[in-house]
Copies of this chain bind each other. A is one copy, B any other.
Amino acid sequence: MAVKNAFYAQSGGVTAVINASAAGVIEAARKNKLKIGKIYAGRNGIIGALTEDLIDTGKESKTAVRGLCSTPSGAFGSCRYKLKSLDENRREYERLIEVFKAHNIGYFFYNGGGDSADTCLKVSQIAKKLGYPVQAIHVPKTVDNDLPITDCCPGFGSVAKYIAVSTREASFDVASMSKTSTKVFVLEVMGRHAGWIAAAGGLASDKDCEIPIVILFPEITFNKKKFLAKVKKCVNEFGYCSVVVSEGVKDAKGNFLADQGLRDAFGHAQLGGVAPVVANIVKDGLGLKYHWSVADYLQRSARHVASKTDVDQAYALGKAAVEFAVKGHNAVMPTIKRLSNKPYKWKIGMAQLSKVANVEKMMPSNFITKDGFGITDKCRAYLVPLIKGEDYPSYKNGLPKYVRLKNIGVKKKLSNFKI
A41 contacts the other chain (CB 8 A): no
With beta carbons under 8 angstroms apart, the residue of B81, B166, B185 that contacts A302 is B166
**Cα–Cα, bound, A277→B273 (Å):** 11
Contacts of A175 in B (CB 8 A): 73, 77
- Least CB distance from A406 to B in Å reads 14
**Cα–Cα, bound, A207→B335 (Å):** 40
Asked if residues B392 and A398 are in contact (CB atoms below 8 Å), the reply is no
Interface size on A, residues (CB 8 A): 91
A228 contacts the other chain (CB 8 A): no
A298 contacts the other chain (CB 8 A): yes
Number of chain copies forming the complex: 2
Given contacts A177-B80, A295-B298, A304-B305, contact A172 B399 (CB under 8 A): no
A389 contacts the other chain (CB 8 A): yes
Given contacts A173-B300, A179-B77, contact A276 B277 (CB under 8 A): no
Contacts of A297 in B (CB 8 A): 169-170, 173-174, 185, 291, 293
Q: Can you name the residue of chain B whose Cβ is closest to the Cβ of A78? A: B176
Asked if residues B396 and A180 are in contact (CB atoms below 8 Å), the reply is no
A416 contacts the other chain (CB 8 A): no
Asked if residues B185 and A79 are in contact (CB atoms below 8 Å), the reply is no
Asked if residues B295 and A73 are in contact (CB atoms below 8 Å), the reply is no
A417 contacts the other chain (CB 8 A): no
Contacts of A304 in B (CB 8 A): 165, 169, 305
Asked if residues A301 and B172 are in contact (CB atoms below 8 Å), the reply is yes
Contacts of A255 in B (CB 8 A): 265
Asked if residues A177 and B78 are in contact (CB atoms below 8 Å), the reply is yes
Contacts of A47 in B (CB 8 A): 179-180
A10 contacts the other chain (CB 8 A): yes
- Least CB distance from A401 to B in Å reads 8
Contact with B along A298-331 (1 / 0, CB 8 A): 1011111101000000000000000000000000
With beta carbons under 8 angstroms apart, the residue of B71, B173, B265 that contacts A259 is B265
**Cα–Cα, bound, A277→B262 (Å):** 12
- Seen from chain A, the residues whose Cβ lies within 8 Å of a Cβ on chain B are 10, 13-14, 16, 44-45, 47, 71-75, 77-81, 161, 164-166, 168-170, 172-181, 185, 187, 203-204, 206, 208-209, 255, 257-260, 264-266, 268, 270-273, 275-277, 280, 284, 289, 291-298, 300-305, 307, 384, 386-390, 392, 395-402, 404
Instruction: Please give 4 more A-B residue pairs, beta carbons under 8 A apart, in addition to A384-B397, A386-B398.
Output: A77-B179, A266-B277, A272-B276, A389-B398
Q: List 22 A-B contacts (CB under 8 A).
A: A14-B176, A72-B172, A73-B169, A74-B177, A78-B179, A165-B304, A165-B399, A165-B400, A169-B303, A169-B400, A169-B402, A170-B296, A172-B402, A180-B265, A258-B264, A264-B273, A270-B273, A272-B276, A275-B294, A293-B296, A294-B294, A295-B298
Give the top 9 A-B pairs by smallest Cβ distance, nearest first. A387-B398, A73-B172, A74-B176, A293-B296, A44-B179, A169-B301, A173-B301, A170-B297, A79-B180
